[in-house]
Structure 1
Amino acid sequence: MYKIVAETLIQALSYTSLAVVAALVGGVVAVYRPPDPQMESNVQHLAAGVVFAAVAAELLPDIHNKSPTVVVSGFAIGIVTMLGIHRLSKAIENRDIGGNFAGAAGLIITIAIDMLIDGVLIGVTFIEETTTGVIIALALAIEVLFLGVAAVVALPEEMRNIQKMAVPATFGALMTVGVTVGVLTLEGAAEATIAVVLAFGAAALLYLVTEELLVKAGKVPQTPVSTTLFFVGFLTIFLLDIIG
Structure 2
Amino acid sequence: MVLTQALSYTALAVVAALVGGIIAVYRPPSPQMESNVQHFAAGVVTAAVAAELLPGIHERAPQIVVLGFAIGVATMLGIHRLSKTIEKRDIGGQYAGAAGLLITIGIDMVIDGVLIGVTFLDNPDTGIIIAVALAIEVLFLGVAGVVALPRELGMARKLAVPATFGLLLATGVTGGVLVLEGVTGAPIAIILAFGSAALLYLVTEELLVKASKVPETPVSTTLFFVGFLAIFLLDMLH
The two structures have a TM-score, normalised by structure 2, of 0.99
Task: Return the letter of the residue paired with 1:155.
Answer: L
Q: What is the Cα-based RMSD across aligned positions, in Å? A: 0.5
CA drift at 1:99: 2.4
Q: Does 1:200 align with 2:194?
A: yes
Which one of 13, 27, 33 corresponds to residue 39 of structure 1?
33
Aligned mate of 2:145, from 151, 171, 176: 151
Amino acid at match of 2:44: V
Q: How far apart, in 2, do the equivalents of 1:177 and 1:94 lie?
A: 29
Q: Which residue of 2 aligns with 1:30?
A: 24
Counting aligned pairs with the same residue, the percent is 75
SS of the counterpart of 1:13?
A: helix
TM-aligned CA deviation for residue 82 of structure 1: 0.2
Instruction: Give distance in 1, aligned partners of 2:224 and 2:215.
Output: 15
Aligned counterpart, 2:228: 234
Query: Any residues of structure 2 matched to 1:89-100 within 5 Å, and which?
Result: 89-100=83-94
Match of residue 79, structure 1, among 66, 73, 78? 73
> Which amino acid in structure 2 is aligned with residue 107 of structure 1?
L
How far apart are the structure 2 equivalents of 1:68 and 1:198? 13
Q: State the TM-score, normalized to the length of structure 1.
A: 0.97
What is the deviation of 1:103?
A: 1.1
Deviation string, structure 1 residues 177-207 (Cα, Å, up to 9, x no partner): 0000000011111310000000000000000
Does residue 179 of the first structure (1) align with residue 173 of the second (2)?
yes
Where has structure 1 moved over 2 Å in runs of 4 or more? Answer: none
State yes or no: 1:218 paired with 2:212. Answer: yes
Q: Displacement of 1:100 after TM fit?
A: 2.5
Number of equivalenced pairs: 238
Structure 2, unmatched stretches of 5+, are none
- Please list every run of 5 or more consecutive structure 1 residues that lacks an aligned counterpart in the other structure: 1-6
Which residue in 1 is equivalent to 2:2? 8
